[in-house]
Structure 1
């Protein structure tokens, strides 16, 4: 079993390169396009299993030469694939244009041609390891999984010191190291020399020929190319590439009244722009003095007209501006909660503001720890939702229900919503607010809500005690003085307000693709807000998915109704970037089904290659796909739940991915037939406990210090992952008893349905929630239990 250490290295490198490629797409393009990488990886593994099953005799005869030559081939395929990918002229904006879509489809196919060879060769190496030791599948699988887990940890560590565009050159080194473990003999020296020469050539190609850059549509592209623009600082982190940019376009990003000049208010001052992966997340002050004279003209100022020197919790401090605005508007004290670590570090480097306390907890953890009535105002800042993917949980019904106990009796919550892309985002957050108030025991949610807006943004106030006539009058006067519009308040008469609309907001028919505007000004939010707050179906709900966002399904930008896919495809050109994720998943899912069919049918066309007369084909067709789907369903569900718990997608991804892989590898090493029987019971029992108790346990302990929360997650991951590591290698062991060709086909089946699992799991989580993924995994592992491909046939 001399190939075990090379197997560890190739699994380490391939997992690292997979993550590095997803980071490349996130920085150069959009993170949604990283789904292609996962599809390419698993497709390569699946197709390599098919090739091994069909060509097994030839591969076995030449296995010694293949183990010697594959390190060099892996280096070259990884380097040339990445070099070609960064030169691929794919442009996502043109993908949404019916006139230019055709060449973009070809460029997507080109990504597959460029990147698939490396992952095919990786899968071929792993398949050869299984074929070479059919009686030791548990050990082979253990090294494969442990290597993948270590690769995930390695690349996350490298992200702290290397730009994502530089990761792959570093990850070629483990591939070259494989050659040193080729068994002593005639091929070893040649393998080492070939790998060394290929490494030198590959590094020269990637370092000297590096042309990776931001795509021209990325928000950072234009300001980065303005005259005299300079990069003040760049911070590398697993969370992203942070760029502090100094250019003349940077301002505080807030929505000011059109009447600000008449109110003698200054405009927002110049700032530095902080970008993560090319997307702007905050305006950082240029000087120690924060000039917030513009604050009375913002949408966020209204609550301060209703509250006297309130105790304020600002969620997302936006580089210090949100807390400074609150103080300027009359706040008595401010807790500035900034979970984003780079922004929090920027705050801590600024001169302290009197009356401001800085916190780095997640919003849910902070309000869970707060004493009842600790705040008079909980204000979510304008750009908090876009600062980090985990911040979407702060805009869910579960979060709103947890904010209320932390408010004083006259306290309120202030929530921003951008309506630049679709006005229905305001309706969706109102439906979410209604659900949160109902969950908190509020009988009449509409009595506790006021929504007001400019042309581009909406602010929604949620009062712990219902709004009375005096407070409604104060908000309406505030809006009249600033030419803002009130879209909803208790007792609103929408028809009576039509003559006094300052900012026309006509209804947009997504299905017709036209603006439905009348002779007079409209407020399409006001037209439907009353019905939304009453829980009734509206015209927009028939075109968009306006179900409340929940802690189990926190995706805020998720309003496309996938049952209207034909209409969506006709309107591609007007879809905002954040709504493209489900569509890309559907495209990847369609490709995955093609790969699965190839894996299923090609070996059956050559039945002698897989020993089909003696093989439990029917059971294998259930068992291995069920494991491929079930394992990834669990992984994606736990990453989603852990992101809420840790308030950090990157840490959640690293802990769950590497933890599950390493613990599953250890479980595989310990797998026996006797232990497998117990593993089925443990798997199903732990999944049922996870489904029933995980959300409650996480919410009950979300205020604990981060180290304790990490321990809680590891306590959950370790026993479940150990048990999950047993079924697959034991199934492969049974397959190896039938025929050495049946084993790689079984490996390919698992890989093919893993291709399907990732986009399918993302769609299920988006449409139904994480708990449905765990529920589906329970069914899949139950199916695998009863379809275990047991055989007593001796090896061919």
Structure 2
């Protein structure tokens, strides 16, 4: 490895040329990582629509595996490309841009006839997913190859190049929301490909005209395709989840959803989010008809217990709950909707269709997160309604395939109860599985725990629960439907009152239930109904009930907000050993666990085969020793960075409320600050040679440990602040941890450049493999121990990395 030393106060022409080359290389790498991160997030969005929401973790894994593979391949290619690095980067940049466009187009428009994701894990589906995995990894493999080649051939400028790597990714995170909002995921693919092609143009600047013209042609071609798509819908989706979409009256993407409106009749439209969750948009006449039906109106029975009350509807969707509140005489109704596309649909695009519901006196629609809104609200409400508020869409950040939801935590229910007027009621609707209740039972566990925290001695007197039975209709094959679908489908309603329910209220609900043939009372105070709800609410020690119940019903918290995850830790391995789709029975919320477990095993296998085994062979053949410590160091960095990043994103997403801000603010700021930390690493090399960059490592361990205990309380305190104040606080919180996160990696690369340059691609591969593993391990830890534990494990990884670094540098 040739190392360039700069000295003196005056720059020679060759030094100036070298400086320009480094700047050009840094700008090109920044554009590559910018486009790579944007593509990663966009593919996550596409998979959430075209496959299942669980595949967002799949997309992240494929991205990181592609980057890992690039390090392994670079170890073989880099010596041969030393003399032609510039030309190689131009060609790789062009291929990278075309790969983004080609792979994105294939994921959007190419479908296998008859392939139904809900028909079981058939051999054709297995083959399809394998092809998708390889194609998805390809652009990330190429981007990783470009970065690692640049780092290997310019180790003396590792800090600058890693700065460009991280800042480029940070800018990409910032750009994703406006790009997806402006041109949708199909258009975003071509925008991203054009940005990747621009990197090739930058790489071509010192080369001959042929290279410059070639890269410019690719750039112009991709821009032209973008124009054709925007005009003619070249890449618009026609099939989702293996099913042909029908007539669409409306379609729009943003950073965390794709929303469509399709007609089901002349008076009812369906609003679909990511071709999964849906909500109804209906005419006033149709709503009147539904509310006249005793069965259909039972979900709105809470409105009959109060007169002319103040109502808050969290997640109103198409407005049925709001219209119902008005129908039953409530004049002050506020709806809080987090998705701006749905706000646009009901307030503007289909305003006339709904009879201008939100233009009526006393009706208000607020674009906000329900949890944040209620924490800031100074009002008391007679009724707070949450009807099936969830989505199977992958989050904007793309990490949380198992769908965390901070509307369903003990802290959230405490917020709801605090904002009830005297005698006020919280009404929650969730799916009800009669054989072994889960979602509805967990709602009861949350409400009971919240009441206990607020001093209630008899929480069993504060609940009413009923369910509505519906026949199951499905297009699935009988064999597969029998595995995953219950024979009877029910919607449960839980009412939680701030004060105990009186006999008049209980009899009123029982009377309405008797008039509705599909209604079954599940729990009412003073009634002897033998079921898990009665057992839980009358238990002297709820922990005894939770331990005995076949599913994990412990109340979820802001630190472990996985409402839909209900497998006990002891069930994880036994569940994983069963047939793939039998773990679904009788719902589909545990597919994510299967994917996580597979991801962990596959990643461990790939790291052993692709990194550890080749290095062992090289050690034996070439007597190359001393690789274990530096490779272990970079592996710890990969684990630690992802653990810290994921935990910080989750906690600050709760603070900022909107999923889009986890991209545009949290992820972007963390990456940019880490890039700035990389520049600081250049000043630490002399200390590193003496084994003393102690403050950088231990500072990160200290800050991470402090944040593990302080951030939950800080987020809770700051949630009522206005949005600019919360954004400023989030950025301030990320500044020290981001700066410190950016230091260890370039420090290690420079250290390798002092005599072990041949290990740089392996270090890159090790770091990438650890990142793949960490993205899955972090979720497994969070599911069972919470995100605070993830952050503490991440800081522990950096402590171990520091110990390895001390040993490494001391030996040299």
Does TM-score exceed 0.5, indicating one fold?
yes
Question: Is 1:108 matched with 2:129?
Answer: yes
In structure 1, the residue matched to 2:615 is 603
Rate the CA distance shift 1:155–1:410 in 2: closer, same or farther, 3 A: closer
Aligned 8 A contact 1:309 1:332 in 2: yes
Q: Kindly report which structure 2 residues correspond to 1:628-707, keeping only aligned pairs within 5 A, or say none.
A: 628-671=638-681, 672-673=683-684, 676-707=693-724
Following superposition, the deviation at residue 586 of structure 1 comes to: 1.8
Contact 1:315 1:378 in 2 (8 A): yes
Aligned equivalent of 1:153? 174
Indicate if the aligned counterparts of 2:311 and 2:383 stay in contact, CA closer than 8 A: yes
Are 2:415 and 1:402 equivalent residues in the alignment?
A: yes
C-alpha spacing 1:387/1:533, structure 2 compared with 1 (3 Å)? farther
The residue number in structure 2 matching 1:443 is 457
Is 2:391 the partner of 1:377? no
**Equivalence for 1:489:** 524
The partner residue of 1:550 within 548, 551, 557 is: 557
Q: Distance in 2 between matches of 1:144 and 1:160?
A: 25
Matches of residues 314-325 of structure 1 in structure 2 within 5 Å? 314-325=313-324
CA separation of 1:344 and 1:162: change in aligned 2, threshold 3 A: closer
Q: Confirm or deny: 8 A CA contact 1:233 1:245 kept in the other structure.
A: yes
Q: How does 1:713-728 map to 2 (within 5 A)?
A: 713-728=730-745
Match of 1:428 among 442, 448, 463: 442
Q: Deviations over 1:221-269 (max 9, x none)?
A: 57x42xxx4x333334223332233342x8xxxxxxxxxxxxxxxxxxx
Give 1:610 deviation, angstroms: 9.2
Match for residue 265 of structure 1?
A: none
Aligned residue among 714, 720, 727 for 1:710: 727
SS in 2 for 1:670: helix
2:147 aligned with 1:133: no
Q: Write the distance in 1 (CA, Å) between the matches of 2:374 and 2:711.
A: 20
Kindly provide the CA deviation profile for residues 401-457 of structure 1, in whole angstroms up to 9, marking residues without a partner as x.
122222223222111112269742222222222222222222232221121111121
The answer as to whether partners of 2:536 and 2:542 remain within 8 angstroms in 1 is no
Mark the CA change 1:210 to 1:234 in structure 2 (over 3 Å): closer, same or farther.
closer
Query: Following the alignment from structure 2 to structure 1, what is the Cα–Cα distance between the partners of residues 456 and 113?
Result: 48
Paired position in structure 1 for 2:337: 338
Counterpart Cα distance in 1 of 2:262 and 2:118:
29
With over 3 angstroms needed to count, the CA separation of the structure-2 counterparts of 1:610 and 1:72, relative to structure 1, is farther
Tell me the CA shift for residue 780 of structure 1. Answer: 1.2
Equivalent residues of 1:14, 1:122 under 8 A apart: yes
Closer/same/farther in 2, CA of residues 64 and 451 from structure 1, 3 Å limit? same
Which shows bigger deviation, 38-47 or 382-391? 382-391
Deviation at 1:202, TM superposition (A): 6.6
Equivalent in the alignment of 1:513: none
Equivalent in the alignment of 1:13: 35
Equivalent residue in structure 1 for 2:215, among 177, 195, 198:
195
Alignment match, 1:257: none
Distance 2:372 2:114 in 1: 37
**Matched residue of 1:738: which SS?**
coil
Q: Which of 463, 484, 509 pairs up with 1:475?
A: 509
Separation (CA, whole Å) in 2 of partners of 1:747 and 1:213: 36
CA 1:356–1:214: 2 relative to 1, 3 Å: same
- Of residues 237, 243, 250, the one that matches 1:213 is 237
Q: 1:215 to 1:610 in 2, by over 3 A?
A: farther
Post-superposition Cα deviations, 1:539-577, rounded to whole Å, max 9, x if no partner, equal 996542222222222222212342432346361564544
User: 1:44 and 2:66 equivalent?
Assistant: yes
Secondary structure, in 3 states, of the residue corresponding to 1:234?
A: strand
Cα–Cα, structure 1 residues 599 and 531, in superposed 2: closer, same or farther, change >3 Å? farther
| Counterpart for residue 629 of structure 2 | 619
Gap regions ≥5 residues in structure 1 = 251-269, 496-523
Partner Cα separation in structure 1 for residue 540 and residue 464 of structure 2: 11
Alignment coverage as a number of residue pairs: 735
Task: Decide whether the 8 Å contact of 1:428 with 1:547 is kept in 2.
Answer: yes
* Corresponding position: 1:775 with 2:772: no
Are 2:276 and 1:279 aligned? Answer: yes
For the Cα contact (< 8 Å) 1:310–1:333, is it kept in 2?
yes
**Partner residue in 1 for 2:595:** 584
Distance change (3 Å), C-alpha of 1:409 and 1:77? closer
Q: For 2:583 and 2:734, locate their aligned partners in 1 and report how far apart those are by CA, in whole Å.
A: 40
- Which residue number in structure 1 is paired with residue 163 of structure 2? 142
Q: Is the 8 A contact 2:256 2:393 kept in 1?
A: no
- Indicate if the aligned counterparts of 2:277 and 2:391 stay in contact, CA closer than 8 A: no
User: CA, structure 1 residues 9+683, in 2 after alignment: closer, same or farther (shift >3 Å)?
Assistant: same
Question: Aligned partners of 2:545, 2:238: CA distance in 1, in Å?
Answer: 41
TM-score computed with the length of structure 2 as normaliser:
0.83
Q: In the alignment, is residue 741 of structure 1 matched against residue 775 of structure 2?
A: no
Report deviation, 1:482: 2.2
CA distance in 1, matches of 2:599, 2:417: 41
Provide Cα deviations, 1:732-785, integer angstroms capped at 9, x if missing partner.
211221221122211211111001111211222223221111111121111112
Is the CA contact 1:301–1:329 (under 8 Å) kept in the aligned structure 2? no
In structure 2, the residue matched to 1:253 is none
Query: Separation in 2 of the partners of 1:159 and 1:112?
Result: 23
- Tell me how far apart the structure 2 counterparts of residues 182 and 526 of structure 1 sit (CA, whole Å): 65
- Equivalent residues of 1:143, 1:665 under 8 A apart: yes
- Kept in 2, the 8 Å contact 1:75–1:175? The answer is yes
* 8 Å Cα contact 2:546/2:553 also seen in 1: no
**CA deviation map 1:321-355 (0-9, x unaligned):** 32221122232532322333233344544542233
CA distance, structure 2, for counterparts of residue 387 and residue 62 of structure 1: 45
2:71 and 2:144 in contact (8 A); partners too = yes
CA contact (8 A) 1:488 1:530 kept: no
Tell me: CA distance 1:463–1:783, structure 2 relative to 1, closer, same or farther (3 Å): same
Question: Equivalents in 2 of 1:70, 1:320: separation in Å?
Answer: 51
Tell me the residue number matched to 2:88: 66
- Counterparts in 2 of 1:792 and 1:428: CA distance versus 1, 3 Å: closer
The more displaced of 395-404 and 65-74 is 65-74
Q: Is the 8 A contact 1:21 1:37 kept in 2?
A: yes
How big is the shift at 1:132?
0.9
CA displacement 1:16-44 (0-9 Å, x = unmatched): 22222222212222232132222222112
Give the TM-score normalised by the residue count of structure 1: 0.84
Give 2:99's match in structure 1, choosing from 77, 101, 108: 77
Q: For residue 369 of structure 1, report the CA deviation from its aligned partner.
A: 3.2
1:22 is the counterpart of 2:44: yes
The alignment partner of 2:754 has SS state of helix
- Specify every segment of 5 or more residues in structure 2 that has no aligned partner in the other structure, as ranges: 1-21, 396-402, 470-489
Deviates more, 1:661-670 or 1:102-111: 102-111
Report if the CA contact (8 A) 1:702-1:709 is conserved. yes
Please list, as runs of the form range in 1=range in 2, the aligned pairs for 1:747-762 lying within 5 A after superposition: 747-762=764-779
Q: Return the alpha-carbon distance in structure 2 between the equivalents of residues 684 and 46 of structure 1.
A: 26
Deviations 1:142-183 (A, max 9, x none): 111111112222333211221212322222222322333346
